[in-house]
Structure 1
Amino acid sequence: MAEASTHSQTIDLPGGALELRWASVTHTGRRREINQDAMLTSFPLFIVADGMGGHIGGEIASASTIDRLSAVATSGDVTPRSIEKALSRAVKDIAGHPETTDDGTGTTVTGVYLDATTEPAHWVTLNIGDSRVYLARDGSIVQITTDHSVVQELIAAGRLSPEEAENHPYGNVITRAVGPSNGVTPDYVRLDVIDGDRFVICSDGLTKELTDYGILHFLTENADPAEAVDAMLEAALENGGRDNVTIVVLDAALPSSAVPSSPDAD
């Protein structure tokens, strides 16, 4: 199993320099034949896509989505409008591919990007489906995105407890995806840029095998992003590796002069 490597980049912001470090890893898992996950780590956009549908349909859907979003990252014009245009193009790519159908073919898409057009700059998370973005801050971890899934809807309606949801038969059924028969408008959440924040972007192949506290444990034990993703992947595989596993860890550091006065998320 190849080990991940940590990448870094320094971004000049009006209040000072923002130092980013990140690492990513993807694995087929122990029970799947094909890895239908795909990922993008191209500043300012960090994305995980978990494909579904047919033998290779999911792989095509996730790869098409990442290809379109990669062009957005390269352009530097990363906004909800440009993201949604790219996702609309991905839907057409998926629908037009000869080896996909509209019967269950699609992909989740979740991630985070830096919006430096505002002062101070903000992080923006985006999500369609049940892949997740977590934020570790001040010794705790919070799931920022909300799953688009049957189970999450049952939890929100008070008909299912989180404990009951873990083994629910509809645990893999999502209610929104990027695909021929689905809309392409993500949910967005804006967050302050705070020194020491750590994001985890992952497919459900990780969250099926590790609890939120398990993810926090490996972040706490591994300051280097590459070591953190490798440790989480190893644990997910040891716990069963029932699905493809994709993990991105993104760390942000600011000099004290650039830390915004309010640490609260929007």
Structure 2
Amino acid sequence: MPEVTTHTRTVPVAGGALDLSWAATTDTGKRREVNQDALLAEYPLFVVADGMGGHLGGEIASASTVDRLRAVVESGAVSPKNIEKALARAVKDIVSHPETTDEGTGTTLTGLYLEASGDEPHWVTLNIGDSRVYLLRDDDIVQITTDHSVVQELIAAGRLSPEEAENHPYGNVITRAVGPSDSVKPDYLRLEVLDGDRFVICSDGLTKELTDFGIRHFLEANPDPARAVEAMMAAALENGGRDNITIVVLDVSRHAA
């Protein structure tokens, strides 16, 4: 596994500043030949995409989605409207490769961005599919995003318990994706910015191998984002590494002027 680096940035906000630090990595895992995951961790947008589709289809879907979103970051105008325009362009990219993609090709997209231009900064999470955003706050870890999956729908309907869901035969079946046959509008959620918050953005390759408790354990044992990412990746690989694994850890420190 290549060495992971922690990046930092100080963001002026009303009444003070935010010190952000983050690290990210991706790994093919032990059972897959190709890594169909992709990531973008460039302020103010931090996202993970988990591609699906035969041959090169999933790889094309996730890479196109991340490339289109990188252009939004470079434009300096990250917003839901511009994110959705980028995703629509990514879908056109996907269908422009008919030799390797079809209606079953697509990618998850999960992450968050910082909106710091107003009177009070806030995070906006975005989600399509079953990659996840977790938040560690006050020693509690919470899954912020809601999976778009058959299993999650069964849980929400009371027909399946979370424990039963872990080994359900439809565990990999998602109900929404960035792809030719789906809407490209993510679910959004606005979160306040608090000192000490730690976010984990990950593909399901991590959550197949680590429980929420395990993720919290490695965050608490590793204050530095790069070390936390490395520790979680090593544990996920040791536990089987059944899928591609992508992890972003993002820490927030807020202080007054």
TM-score (norm 1): 0.95
Give 1:76 shift.
Answer: 1.2
User: CA contact under 8 A between 1:102 and 1:181: conserved in structure 2?
Assistant: no
Q: Which residue of 2 aligns with 1:120?
A: 120
Worse-matched range after superposition: 90-99 or 145-154: 90-99
- Between Structure 1 and Structure 2, how many residues are aligned? 257
Long gaps (5+) in structure 1: 259-266
Is 1:181 matched up with 2:160?
A: no
Return the letter of the residue paired with 1:59.
Answer: E
Q: 1:128-185 CA distances to partner (integer Å, 9 max, x unpaired)?
A: 0000000000111000000000000000000000000000000000000000111100
Q: Which residue of 2 aligns with 1:222?
A: 222
2:241 counterpart SS class: coil
Q: Tell me, in whole angstroms, the C-alpha distance in 2 between the residues paired with 1:117 and 1:251.
A: 20
Give 1:108 shift.
Answer: 0.2
Large movers: runs of 4+ above 3 Å: none
Give 1:98 shift.
Answer: 3.7
Long gaps (5+) in structure 2: none
Give 1:104 shift.
Answer: 1.4
Q: Which residue of 1 aligns with 2:135?
A: 135
Is 1:251 matched up with 2:251?
A: yes
Return the letter of the residue paired with 1:47.
Answer: V
Give 1:56 shift.
Answer: 1.2
Q: Which residue of 1 aligns with 2:206?
A: 206
Return the letter of the residue paired with 1:132.
Answer: R
**Percent identity, aligned pairs only?**
74
Q: Which residue of 2 aligns with 1:235?
A: 235
- Listed as ranges, the matches of 1:1-266 within 5 Å are 1-255=1-255, 257=256
Q: 1:167-207 CA distances to partner (integer Å, 9 max, x unpaired)?
A: 00000000000001111000001000000100000000000
Q: Tell me, in whole angstroms, the C-alpha distance in 1 between the residues paired with 2:142 and 2:61.
A: 28
Give 1:118 shift.
Answer: 2.4
Q: Tell me, in whole angstroms, the C-alpha distance in 1 between the residues paired with 2:111 and 2:101.
A: 26
Worse-matched range after superposition: 13-22 or 26-35: 13-22
Give 1:116 shift.
Answer: 1.3
Q: Tell me, in whole angstroms, the C-alpha distance in 2 between the residues paired with 1:99 and 1:106.
A: 15
Return the letter of the residue paired with 2:67.
Answer: D
